[in-house]
Each structure stands twice: as structure tokens, then as C-alpha cells.
A and B are shown apart, each in its own frame.
Chain A
Amino acid sequence: MIPIGNVIEHYVLLASVIFVLGAVGFLVRRNALVQLMSVELMLNAVNLALVAFNRQHSSDMNGQMVSFFVIAVAAAEAAVGLAIVLSFYRLKSSVFSDEADSLRH
């Protein structure tokens, strides 16, 4: 009988599935807001994997510390990203990332 939720494999599997969902969302969606949310999904998945590995090697708590810094960086990234989306909307009246093509031609 395999214990559920008490071995690291389950957490890593779940984190990889959420990470791939975030990556697919970032690649497929064109709404810049949803793309930023997909980035947050990926960061969350990485945090989950970090904390799970830290629980496996539980002699110290460095993984939780790094996860804390990841959360701080994610908050800063969300603030700056949303400001860029607002600025882009003011320029183009749209939130679609495929309309940011001024450097294309």
C-alpha cells in the first residue's frame, strides 16, 4: 500500500503537472493578464516542489527560505508586469500580447 501524500513523488508529480499547465497557458493564451497569471502558476509549482524536497531532506529549512524569496520576487514581478500591461493598454487600447509588434517590421 503506497501512502498518499506522504512521499515526495506525489508532490513532484503534482508540481510538474501544474508547471506544464502554466507553461501551456503562457504559450497559448494571448491575453497578457492571463499570461501573467500563468507565470504565477509556474512559480507556485516550483515553490511546491521546493518545499516538498525540503521536507524530504528535513535536516535544515533552506528550501523553505528559498521558497520565501521566490514568493517575494513573484510579488514584485506581478506588480511590474501589471504596470506594463496598463501602460501597453494605454498605448494600444488592447491587452493582447500579439499586438505588441512595433518592432516587427
Chain B
Amino acid sequence: MSVGDVFFLVAAVVALVGAVWTIASQSPIRSALGLLTTIVGIAALFLRLNAQFLAAIQLIVYAGAVVVLFVFVIMLLGPDAGAVSKRPARARGSRVASAALVFVLAVLLVVSLVGAQPSPTKFRAVSPEYGSVEAVGQLLFSRGLVPFELSTALLIVAAIGAIAVARARHTPKRVKAGESPTRRLFHGPLHPRDAGRPLPKEGLL
């Protein structure tokens, strides 16, 4: 086994263990850590596939932004985030659907392992520029320019929408009317003679 084989095996096992950890652990913070593990494993697989730029983007966007966002929300919710539901589980349909999915996956795995060719075609060698920042960036700014700009619009709309949805609803507060130095400064009597007199009523101003 070469170094690349060991690298693939380690990264694949890390990604799989992280995925199982994500969906199986009771506490959401552990699920977030499992998601982080999967993301790091998949970033390593991207490196094995000569996609250096995407590996970096994967680490920056997922590990740096998405997982941190999850952790922030879990911290904001506090112990309620990991509470155990008091309702009895009723969703039989989704359990049946997930069992069917696992069955289909198992059948596919068996079929593909039994029918595997003894010598499948290997990846061909690629030039060192393949998957580099320069090459992918050139593609993004030539053929993918319109979707790239649209994705920037999508991100800004999503950020504003997230703020609008998550913001607490405040009832508008009444401005307290009364004696205040600011009110006296801007609306009070101008002459020093009137300094001791009460301020005029609200409606007069």
C-alpha cells in the first residue's frame, strides 16, 4: 500500500465515523463536532482528488463558518438545545422510509461489490494546475461569472433574511415625556429669566 492509499483510507474512515457521530449522538454539540470531523475528512479527500482550492474552501466555509454558526446557536439555546422530547415518537412513516433507504443502500453495496471489475480504470494523471486556485478562479470568472454574481446576491439576501427572521420582536417603546436636560436645552425657554418656569406642554411645541 502506498502513502496515497493509506491517506484515502484514513480520510474515508474519519468522514464515516464523523457522519455516524453526527446523527447518533444525543447532545447537539457532539453532533456539531461529528459534522466537523466529517468536513475535515472530506476536505482531505478533496486533496486526494487534486482539488486543492475546494479543500481550502471546504475548510474555510464549513469548518470556519457553518459549524461555528451551529455552535453559536446551540450555545444561545442553552440546555434546551439538547433536551429530550417528552412526546412519544409517532413518525412511523419516516422510520419506514429510512429503513427502506438503508435497505436500498445495502443492496447497492452488495451488487457493486459482487459485480466489481477486477481491474477498474484508474484516474489519469493530471497537470499540476488542475484544481489550483488559479485555474478554478479563472473558470469561475469566465464561464461561471453569472452564477458567481448570483451567488453573491443569494448570500447577501440570505444574511439579511436570517437577521430579519431571527430578530426579537420589540413593541415600540413610548418616548418618556417630561423634564429632561435635553428637552430643556432644545425646547426650553431661551431667556435666563424663564429658567425656573415649567416647560410648555407637549402639543405646543
Listed in ascending order, the chain A residues whose CB lies under 8 Å from chain B are 2-11, 13-14, 16-18, 20-25, 27-31, 33-34, 36-38, 40-41, 44, 47-48, 51-52, 54-56, 58, 60-62, 64-65, 67-69, 71-80, 82-87, 89-90, 93-96, 98-99
Within 8 A of A (CB), among B46-72: 46, 48-51, 53-54, 57-58, 61-62, 65-66, 69-70
The 8 A-B residue pairs whose C-beta atoms are closest, nearest first, are A5-B8, A25-B23, A76-B158, A83-B166, A83-B162, A27-B94, A4-B5, A83-B165
Verify B4–A5 contact, CB threshold 8 A. yes
Give the number of A-B contacts (CB < 8 Å): 249
B9 an interface residue at 8 Å Cβ cutoff?
Answer: yes
Verify A75–B65 contact, CB threshold 8 A. yes
B200 an interface residue at 8 Å Cβ cutoff?
Answer: no
Verify B80–A89 contact, CB threshold 8 A. yes
User: Which residue from chain A places its CB closest to the CB of B39 in the assembled complex?
Assistant: A44
Verify B48–A5 contact, CB threshold 8 A. yes
User: Which residue from chain A places its CB closest to the CB of B99 in the assembled complex?
Assistant: A24
B124 an interface residue at 8 Å Cβ cutoff?
Answer: yes
Q: Chain A's interface: helix, strand, loop or mixed, by majority? A: helix
Within 8 A of A (CB), among B102-118: 102, 105, 108-109, 112, 116, 118
Interface size class of B (residues with CB under 8 A): 35 or more
Which of B4, B20, B31, B109 gathers most chain A CB within 10 Å?
B31
B190 an interface residue at 8 Å Cβ cutoff?
Answer: no
What B residues does A52 contact at CB under 8 A? 49
Instruction: Return the contact of A24 from the options B98, B131, B148, B162 (Cβ within 8 A).
Output: B98
The minimal Cβ–Cβ distance linking B161 to chain A, given in whole angstroms, is: 6
Instruction: Return the contact of B122 from the options A6, A77, A82, A83 (Cβ within 8 A).
Output: A6
Q: How far is the CA of A42 from the CA of B35 in the complex (A)?
A: 11
The minimal Cβ–Cβ distance linking B109 to chain A, given in whole angstroms, is: 7
Q: How far is the CA of A68 from the CA of B133 in the complex (A)?
A: 12
Q: How far is the CA of A40 from the CA of B45 in the complex (A)?
A: 17
The minimal Cβ–Cβ distance linking B98 to chain A, given in whole angstroms, is: 4
